[in-house]
Amino acid sequence: MNSSPNLRQQAKAHTRVALKKSALKLYSQQGASGVSMNKVAKGAGIAQPSFYNHFANLDELLEELRSELTERYMGPLRLAVVDMLSKVDQISDQQFKHLNRQFLRLIFDAAFQNITLFQRLIEDRPRFDAKNSGLAGMLLEVQDEWAQAFNQGLKLSGRCVRASTLHLFLDSVSAQVHELILGCHGERYSQEEAIETLSSNIGKMFDELLSKK
């Protein structure tokens, strides 16, 4: 039995992964301006013309990488958030605070797995439109995912919140979370101090969110 086709497929899959790792490293270290097809190919150990055997162009690679990173980040959180919000009237304040802290720890852990990337994403974040923005649009894509999860969970609980109200809540929460992650990185305070402060602030904002029609 000839295994050559299978081996070629494995080699191609390995190279695709290597190209995405190379692009991620370049973006983390140099930003969008430092990510070129030639540099990405070189970092993956292939010649630039061979890049086209794996991706149509650099934008396609970056969009696929962004989707994978977003899913890796949101995957563990999405269902848990929907489940918590669907039962928001059934859980105690203490349970909510506990779950809130758990979510915040997961977010902080994800950021500190590659704090250089996180800082770069904050710096390059487009204001309102993630479309065609490569890796720089990841935080906006994540925020859209949060909005969808919140909407789904609140609807399951029989609640309805205006889109503008929800976006205002999520924008406010994101700004605080991002700032305090950077503050922890700068050793201005501990992660536990940041999480405790965020948990308290988010709890108050969440109560206000639920009180609005």
In the numeric block, which tokens belong to residue 95?
Answer: 């349970």
CB 143 within 8 A of CB 74: no
The full DSSP string for 152-196 is HHHHHTT----HHHHHHHHHHHHHHHHHHHHHHHTTSS-HHHHHH
> Contacts by 38-42 with C-beta closer than 8 Å and gap 24+?
none
Q: What is the pLDDT along the chain (213 residues), one digit of tens a residue?
A: 455 778 888 889 999 999 999 999 999 999 888 999 999 999 999 999 999 999 999 999 999 999 999 998 888 788 888 988 998 888 888 998 898 999 899 899 999 999 999 999 998 887 656 565 688 888 888 888 999 999 999 999 999 889 999 999 999 999 999 999 999 999 999 999 999 999 999 999 999 998 865
Write out pLDDT tens, residues 63-103.
Answer: 999 999 999 888 878 888 898 899 888 888 899 889 899 98
Q: CB-side exposure of 27: number of CA atoms within 13 Å?
A: 30
| Residues ≥6 apart with Cβ < 8 Å to 181 | 107, 108, 111, 112, 118, 194
Contact 126, 136 (CB under 8 A): yes
Q: Residue 82, class by beta-carbon neighbours within 10 Å (0-12 exposed, 13-18 middle, 19+ buried)?
A: buried
Q: What is the DSSP letter of 22?
A: H
Residue 201 buriedness (CB in 10 A; 0-12 / 13-18 / 19+): middle
Output the six-digit token pair for 105.
């720890």
Three-state secondary structure call for residue 91: coil
Concatenated DSSP letters for 34-65?
A: G--HHHHHHHTTS-GGGGGGT-SSHHHHHHHH
pTM of the entire structure?
Answer: 0.85
Q: Which residues contact 198 (CB under 8 A, 6 or more apart)?
A: 104, 176, 177, 180
